[in-house]
Structure 1
């Protein structure tokens, strides 16, 4: 998922970049409003992290130009030190989708980005996920592979849902652990154990393994049809 950070504070920008890149995002940074606006308008992004106070062009102007002039609906998470209700309302009026006040938790940034991107893709109200020969009914929380029911414990269901919502994308270990367990992070081998359980359930009857370990990075759900489309 491509994310643009428009932030003039080098320390904040670097922390965001390192955390999001480590969580599997494809990240770029603009250190001023002029460069940020140019990147926002000329490339495709799945979300933009936008500081309010920027040199060159301020964040509100960037957001307004993105919405009113370029007619882009890219999700925008606004970052600012201003915390009054009027400041927040002004951000929303100019087209921001969400708002975080500095200082903020990097985990919260990641969680809010995922929520924004899922809503943007229509995945919040999606009835089911279908990748390769696996179908995940989100209403009943039932899984089938090639028409055969697959029994999974709750955490494995959460893991499978995350992987299937973005097939072929590599999810970092830290990102998956934060999405599944939140602030109550598990022991170091817990995620690996759940991946093993998920694999074993999906590969019953000799089926191919669809969960790929990308060494040094994380895991992904392999779906060749998604690449072809």
Structure 2
């Protein structure tokens, strides 16, 4: 993927200029938003490959901006959070509202560019009809799943959960996001999700030597797939 369209959300002009100059040096297009309100409006009006989101904004918290972009944008644009907040709780909160990656300040601009490319490439894969992650293959149109070339018999909800985890790979998906994606605005209690996770794990992991469905304490669930 040679040319990317990036939305940079950053209110510190010195940092914004530095990041913009570096990314534009790759031949990428960079739009700048200095407030959360402006960022949401641009993300809704335009199609971006990646949003680079600073959390400390003058009008609203970047976590709220991320949530609004994920709810309102026409496509599921990847969001990479840029912040000095580096505690586990801060990261869990960011991932919980749909963030796709997290970089703490100060950061290496070369690494930032690599992460943008990886997010854009993964997002393009997620919009294809077949997701292939190492030994796991998911055909979205056929609603069929194979692990190590063995077809798995999943319930419809187990399939939906697995697709959400595969599309977020390698990042975790929070329980609240999973419940909203599956049941919408009227989710059942959390025990229902636990029951479906148990069913998915029995089919996805139990017949094989290693487990790929992982529970992340106080966060949610993720896939851990060798070779993916």
Match of residue 227, structure 2, among 180, 204, 225: 225
Select the residue among 61, 73, 76 that pairs with 1:115.
Answer: 76
Shift of 1:122: 1.2
Give the whole-Å Cα distance in 2 for the aligned partners of 1:186 and 1:157. 18
Q: Residue 16 of structure 2 is aligned with which of 4, 21, 36? A: 36
Q: Tell me the TM-score normalised to structure 1 length.
A: 0.56
The aligned residue for residue 203 of structure 1 is 205
> Could you state the TM-score of these two structures normalised by the residue count of structure 2?
0.56
Unaligned runs of 5+ in 2: 1-5, 49-58, 79-99, 101-118
Provide the C-alpha distance between the structure 2 equivalents of 1:223 and 1:133, rounded to a whole number of angstroms: 7
Which residues of 2 match residues 74-113 of structure 1 at below 5 A? 79-80=36-37, 96-97=46-47, 107-112=67-72
Structure 1: segments with no counterpart, 5+ residues: 7-29, 43-65
Spell out, residue by residue over 1:91-124, the C-alpha distance to the aligned partner (whole angstroms, 9 max, x if none): 59xx9427xxx99897443345671239943135
Count matched residues. Answer: 166
Q: Deviations over 1:14-66 (max 9, x none)?
A: xxxxxxxxxxxxxxxx4434433434555xxxxxxxxxxxxxxxxxxxxxxx7
User: Separation in 1 of the partners of 2:168 and 2:77?
Assistant: 14
Whole-angstrom distance in 2 between the partners of 1:150 and 1:75? 44
Bigger shift: residues 106-115 or 215-224: 106-115
- Match of 1:224, SS state, is coil
The 1:105–1:191 alpha-carbon spacing in structure 2 relative to 1, beyond 3 Å, is farther
